[in-house]
Amino acid sequence: MVSPKYHVFVCAGTKLSGDKKGLCHSRGSEDLVRAFMTEIDERELSGEVLVSATSCFGICDKGPIAVVYPDGVWYGGLDAEKVAVIAEEHLEGGTPVKSLLI
Amino acid sequence: MVSPKYHVFVCAGTKLSGDKKGLCHSRGSEDLVRAFMTEIDERELSGEVLVSATSCFGICDKGPIAVVYPDGVWYGGLDAEKVAVIAEEHLEGGTPVKSLLI
């Protein structure tokens, strides 16, 4: 299995212990996963960028959170507009968006 | 936010669209997440290794799946014994386990 150029993990706020949903979830993280997918599709990056939803990262006060690997770059306080900026500058352009780092 | 030395993402087989659970889930992926957490705890690696459960990666025939970043190393067909090997050789020892790669 060849890794994608970028793999975006978006906290969906779920806890392993059950269906409890945390802060990221209440702040619309499911829509953010879809927003990343739409951006990647529209920019024709689906061959090089994967998006996954994840369990709670435990840093809920900074949510909604996403981390981009292999860079290990963490973004917080996300909304659909910020997702578009990350898609343009980082996932397409190759440069992490400093103003959105946590 | 400083990234961990290793971040292990274990497919928990959940689909974003709801609570549908896929193949990895039916093959015990929740137990595998716990197995990784136990190994990391027992090896005192919790300061450097993070474990998260993720949504379905879409390569279910190779499940249960885990990917280790930043290396971008994909493991498949996992069970508790194989998790212990990965913890020892890769997460603690720093060398990916070739025989378990997909």
pLDDT, tens digit (0-9, with 9 covering 90-100), for B56-96:
888 888 889 999 999 999 999 999 999 999 999 999 999 99
Candidates B10, B11, B15, B16, partner chain A, best to mutate (most A CBs within 10 A):
B16
B89 neighbors B39 (Cβ within 8 angstroms): no
Tokens of A78: 């996300």
The one-letter amino acid at A19: D
Q: How far is A3 from chain B (nearest CA, A)?
A: 6
Q: Rounded to 10 degrees, what is the CA torsion of A74, A79, A81, A82?
A: -10
pLDDT at A42: 97
Partner-chain residue, chosen from B33, B57, B70, that has the shortest CB–CB distance to A52: B57
Q: Which domains does chain A have, with CATH numbers?
A: 6-100 (3.40.30.10)
Report whether pLDDT(A8) > 80: yes
pLDDT at B24: 75
ipTM of the complex: 0.91
What's the pLDDT tens digit per position in A89-100?
Answer: 999 999 999 999
What's the pLDDT tens digit per position in A23-42?
Answer: 777 778 889 999 999 999 99
Q: How far is A32 from chain B (nearest CA, A)?
A: 11
Show residues of chain A in contact with B52, CB under 8 Å.
9, 54-55, 57
pLDDT at A30: 84
B36 neighbors B28 (Cβ within 8 angstroms): no
d(CA B39, CA B92): 10
Confidence of residue A82 (pLDDT cuts 50, 70, 90): very high
Report whether pLDDT(B23) > 80: no
Partner-chain residue, chosen from A19, A62, A69, that has the shortest CB–CB distance to B7: A69
